[in-house]
Amino acid sequence: MDSFPPDSGVDCGPMASPSIDTSKGSDSSEATGLRKPVTIRTLRRMVDSGEAFPCLTAYDALTAGWLQQAGIPVLLVGDTAAEVILGLPATIHAPLDFMITLTAAVKRGAPNCWVIGDMPFLSYQVSEAEAIRNGGRFLVEGRADAVKLEVDAAFVPVVTRMAQAGIPVIAHIGSRPQHVGRHGGYYSDGRRADDAYRLIDEARAFEEAGAVMILVEAVPEEVAAAIVDAVDVPVIGCGAGASCHGQIVVTHDLTGMTEWQPPFAQPIEAVGESLVRVAGVWADRVRRRAHGEHPYRMIEGESERLAQPSDSDDGTS
């Protein structure tokens, strides 16, 4: 999953789940929080009841804690961390150990959220054995609840073996940011009927292989709807229309922290502008030495002692 440049056209039940307090309504600005851990069973119950679930990216414990407090059940530690955290030009530059470390941090910050570790470029493509080993590291070291792989039909055996090893796998199909080099940039998938049929077949194949969820990115809405109808596992959409069971976007896009945002993830708050304002106020206080009353005081009598010449100041050498 990724944030996409302008004009690219892409990015990336009646009862509420007992783990999620939705009593204040979906438009409430008051944080509701998660009362107990979200599991894949929680998400399946939400799918069965027709309740869409929100997902957001997170890369640190502090932000993850706030998102848990907001009642976001699913957090993705995306390889977009390469861009928004490390300042690198593309998601393929995300280091494996770095991603595992961030995933563990997010889970510590939001222990009740269902946390997905995004397996970075070349962490699962080389061999099935490496895929299992690295996926296992996300579960054990990164404390992830599931891992996500950008895949096509060629990776069905990999997903099968990982599922057999006990690793909950999310199959990411459609537009795959780790493959942008092959396409000369970000792209939308499924715009032709043949491509749509291919994506539907891939979704079915990955469900049969043992994937616990499908993530579909940057496809026409009717294609995503057909995928939802074709499988029995939850489907998360990223720029795939409203038919998907869950929706994922990059948190930095929603908060206006990125320079541009995809059309389906427009900023809700201008947090970037707020940060500029806060930093500007702080800079002005520093320049004027207007910090307010200093909070620390010397012990009574010690200030006078400090003002007296010490033995080392008697002029002797």
217 flagged as catalytic: yes
**At residue 284, what is the residue type?**
D
Q: How far apart are CA 203 and CA 226, in angstroms?
A: 10
Angle among Cα 234, 69, 111 to the nearest 5 degrees reads 65
Selected catalytic residue, list 217, 221, 222, 304: 217
Bridge pairing between strands 146-150 and 169-174? parallel
How far apart CA 211 and CA 270 sit, in angstroms, is 37
Instruction: Give the contacts of 244 (CB within 8 A, at least 6 positions apart).
Output: 52, 216, 224, 228, 235, 236, 237
Residue owning tokens 């469900």? 207
Measure the CA dihedral 235/238/240/241, to 10°.
90
Annotated active-site positions, please?
217
